[in-house]
Amino acid sequence: MSTDTKFEKHIDITDIDQTAVDVLSHSTKLSKQAIKQAMTKGAVWLTRGKHTQRLRRASRPLKQLDTLHFYYNAEVLAATPVEATLITDEGDYSLWYKPCGLLSQGSKWGDHCTITRWAEQHLKPERPAFIVHRLDRAATGLILVAHSKKTTRALTALFQQRTIHKQYHAIVHGRFPQQLTLETAIDDRAAVSHIQLLKYSTQRDCSLVNVEIETGRKHQIRRHLSQAGFPILGDRLYGDEETPTTDLQLTAVSLRFNCPNTGEQRDYELDSHLRPQL
């Protein structure tokens, strides 16, 4: 048994007619209620044959040769998800405003603080949710969520083919030039960002810029702007502030693409009050 605040359990099932709650309550010092909550938050996984997936239903019976996985992290499970805002529900996919702190993707330790889990729990009628693209945890803005595997594949293909047009707004330190294209490789892979000045504040010595990217490397916008000498305000990873006094000022403000189901062009714009304000 374990009293740690973070541990893993991997248990081969040898008896029939057991539930994950029963098995885990015998192998840990956690209460059945705590185990059920951890299951709901995505910390329990089941391997059956060649497939491994999260197990949320406490009453689901286990079978011989199943393997139960429990990834317990008290800190992760104690986190409270930040509230996302539904922009539009198109049935097979939905568009949301992701606030700072909400994750695009979960981990083996849980997924209750992700945009997909939020969508699953708050859309009516309820339906599964699948991630299509990502925004940094600290970034805000428009994010697509798919609700079928077919639509997930179709939307993912649009991103891979670069036929989804995305725009971001950011506030950066300093006076940005009127227009700049940054092409510094990221992690040895080509990366291209096009940045245009929208407004400069002499009082704050900060610039509001519009960003369009041809590639989607990890932290591409943040890294490119920092390398160019214009770090984004509130950037705790690549900024020049030891203790930022604001959240990351980077927001996905628009998406344009042809709907994979109807072929019609879709244009989505984020309301001005949710955009970075200089």
Catalytic annotation on 187?
Answer: no
Query: What's the CA gap between 95 and 270, in Å, rounded?
Result: 11
SS3 of 174, please? coil
Alpha-carbon Rg of the chain, whole angstroms? 22
Using the CB atoms, write b or e for 195-227: b if 16+ within 10 Å: bebeeeeeeeebbbbbbbbeeebebbbbbbbbe
SS3 of 156, please? helix
Which of 66, 111, 136, 235 is an active site residue? Answer: 136
179-182/250-258 β-pairing? unpaired
Residues with a known catalytic role: 136
